[in-house]
Amino acid sequence: MPYKGSDILDRELKKGSAELLILSLVEDRPRHGYEIGNLIEQRSGGLLRFNVASLYPLLYRLEKRGWIQGRWVEKAGQRRRRYYRLTPEGKKILAAQRNSWRDFVEAMNLITGIEIA
Amino acid sequence: MPDWKPEIRVRLRGSRLTATREAEIVEELSQHLDDRYECLLSDGSSADEAHRTVVLELTEGELLANELSRGERMAPTHSVVTGLPLKGGRRNVVVDFWQDLRYGLRMLVKNPGFTAVAVIALALGIGANTAIFSVVNTVLLRPLPYKDPERLVMVFEDSSKHGFPRDVPTAANYLDWRDQNQVFESMAAIAGACDGFVRNIVKTANLSTFEPDNRDLRRL
């Protein structure tokens, strides 16, 4: 019988890290939703994947909190797209979340003995 | 390219978004699904397969409407207490007040029973207060309608041995008091009911001293 707790753990880990992932990806430059979703999948080697139903509610929530800001951008010959950029407040949150995540990972390593190469 | 908008609108039912907000979200999600559909086609999926996959991702766990609805309502990262300044010191009194006012009105409309009881209680309270204040103001607070009312005093005869520490003097005694008075500027006797009060003062004193500025018989 497969271990079901693993699915729950994966889902919870994904939920817990989603904000940090999105904030990190819009740190350097504004990106649209599809690009953010693709980058998460590519950079995680396919381990993490957010589809439309889970990604956009998250983006809107972060926007509502004032951590990212969405803006419709029209480019010649293309449909207008909504690009999200990191706000100054989002930058502070990102820094704080990075620290928390680092501490958490270190604590987990100390307890579980997992070493990251 | 399939038109995803009807599919998205169905999924957004119950998310309680404004029409403008919904239109924006539909446009954005529609673009995402277009991109995803093209990507699946370019990866070798057939049009049917790609369509099925995209719709499946959209409907996954009926997440969209719930999450959007939650996201629109629960955006603040901390609980908002009406009337208190925002975390980090940001504060706009007018905006806060307007927000509190609208919240209060919404709650009142939502609970008509409570609203009716509150309105009746307030109406009764205000009415009772007004009535009591009218009496207190007339009897206690507003000065008597005489010039320098704070200088008016009432003098009684002490008949404690007969059980009347504040007795009314006889007319003869009053006349003696008045004639031998070295303390008061002037003296007058009062007797009888309200209208008699005025009449008797007028009869026993000079008018310039005891004529009320404004004869308000209800207060005499």
Q: Are strands A81-86 and B157-159 parallel, antiparallel or unpaired?
A: unpaired
Tell how far CA B104 is from the center of its chain: 11
- Cα separation, A96 vs A94, in Å, equals 5
Query: What are the C-alpha distances in Å from B58 to residues A42, A91, B55, B163?
Result: 20, 30, 5, 98
Quick one: pLDDT at residue A44? 87
* Gyration radius (Cα) of chain A, Å: 16
Percent of chain A with pLDDT over 70: 87
- Cα separation, A2 vs B213, in Å, equals 100
Interface contacts A/B by beta carbons within 8 Å: 62
- Cα separation, A57 vs B164, in Å, equals 88
Quick one: pLDDT at residue B113? 93
Average model confidence (pLDDT) across chain B: 77
Tens digit of each residue's pLDDT (9 = 90 or more) over A72-85: 998 888 888 999 99
Confidence of residue A70 (pLDDT cuts 50, 70, 90): very high
- Cα separation, B75 vs B118, in Å, equals 32
Q: Are strands A31-32 and A81-86 parallel, antiparallel or unpaired?
A: antiparallel
Confidence of residue B120 (pLDDT cuts 50, 70, 90): very high
Yes or no, beta carbons of B32 and A82 under 8 Å apart: no
Quick one: pLDDT at residue A112? 86
Quick one: pLDDT at residue B217? 44
The number of residues in chain A equals 117
**Closest approach of chain B CAs to the CA of A111, in angstroms?**
30
Percent of chain A with pLDDT over 90: 46
Yes or no, beta carbons of B75 and A61 under 8 Å apart: yes
If one counts every other C-beta atom within 10 angstroms of the C-beta of residue B106, the result is 10
Q: Please give the residue that has the higher pLDDT: either B178 or B217.
A: B178
Quick one: pLDDT at residue B90? 55
Asked if the model's pLDDT at residue B47 lies above 70, the reply is: yes
Which of A54, A61, A82 lies nearest to residue B63, judging by beta carbons? Answer: A54
Mean local confidence (pLDDT), B144-151:
76
Confidence of residue B196 (pLDDT cuts 50, 70, 90): very low
Enumerate chain A positions whose Cβ falls within 8 A of a Cβ in B.
Answer: 32-34, 37, 51-54, 56-58, 60-61, 64-65, 79, 81-82
Asked if the model's pLDDT at residue A21 lies above 90, the reply is: yes
A1-10, A68-77, B4-13 — which is least confidently predicted?
Answer: A1-10
Tens digit of each residue's pLDDT (9 = 90 or more) over B71-95: 555 554 444 444 445 544 455 677 7
ipTM: 0.82
**Closest approach of chain A CAs to the CA of B88, in angstroms?**
11
Yes or no, beta carbons of A58 and B71 under 8 Å apart: yes
